[in-house]
Amino acid sequence: MGGGITWDSKWESEYQETKQKSAVLYRQEPHFELLTTGCIHQGELTFLEQHLTRLREASRYFAYPYDEPKLLKELQEELSHLDLNLDYRCRIALQKNGTFHLVITELTDLPASYLQAQLTEQKLDLATPFTYFKTSQRDHLNQSDHEQIFHLPDETLLETTIGNLVLEIEGQRYTPPAHLPLLDGIYRRHLLETQQVEEKQDANKQQMIQILTELKGLNLTDTAKACPLPSLVVCGSRDWANQSSSKKLAKLLPKGRYQEIADGGHLLNTEKPYELAQAIKEFVAGF
């Protein structure tokens, strides 16, 4: 370890440089894996290129060896054994030595108790790369039996424990901007690129409380069971957040029918207008 003193050197900056250089002698980096997690639908990992990009960028930042052809080969081998009629959760972990660990499990709903979200002030240090990269090192997020919606001391909303946050305000969907200390998720980017959401600069805790209060106690189960009319419940095959509830709604309706639009997202009227119109036309034609 060494350094040089120049004519315009200041002792404060020289001292800081000495501390930074000497840190290599005592600083211990935590052991962690680089992660990406996605949905396997009809035998394919959705947003494959985005997942590869995430791992590529993270491996470059943390200096992890990354063999993409090897990963694709291992992934294809795992996919070849899956039931095409089922959806799966795929977790890919890249270890420090460059090996991959793939865990694929059937996709199921989160426990109802976990979905009782609670607002949590973020008091931990977010000035760390682990805030912006998906890794197994998640100490900056408090763990809980419930989903948590984190906000800064000034009540600026950030993200949830396991995902990005989207608010619907007066019919428009917003998400906190990426310049805040949060993980810029793959599906978040997709929603922005397809203009399904906008970044909102001042989303705060009070707006979240207002939305939760309005939804508290809302239960339309009895209403759905009493509906006498034929009903068509349509959902996009890529609208994973709403597929389960859409199927349940169709079963609750006495004359309900569920139909899935292939390769459709959440906004079917703009993404798949012809397919949506055709589904409705065929449904109505049956009467």
Q: What is the pLDDT along the chain (287 residues), one digit of tens a residue?
A: 566 666 677 777 777 777 776 766 666 667 899 999 999 999 999 999 999 999 999 999 899 999 999 999 999 999 999 999 999 999 999 999 999 999 999 998 888 878 788 889 988 888 888 999 999 998 888 777 888 999 998 888 899 988 899 988 888 899 999 889 999 999 999 999 999 999 986 666 676 666 666 666 677 788 888 899 999 999 998 888 788 889 999 999 999 999 999 988 887 887 788 899 999 999 999 87
Between CA 234 and CA 242 the distance in angstroms is 10
Between CA 260 and CA 276 the distance in angstroms is 10
Q: Which two tokens stand for residue 98?
A: 């460059």
Between CA 65 and CA 51 the distance in angstroms is 16
Q: How far does the chain reach from its first CA to its final CA, in angstroms?
A: 83
Q: Would you say how long the chain is, in residues? A: 287
Closest to 172 measured CA to CA, from 267, 249, 274: 267
Between CA 268 and CA 264 the distance in angstroms is 6
Closest to 244 measured CA to CA, from 46, 77, 59, 87: 87
Closest to 87 measured CA to CA, from 204, 231, 239, 232: 239
Between CA 183 and CA 130 the distance in angstroms is 9
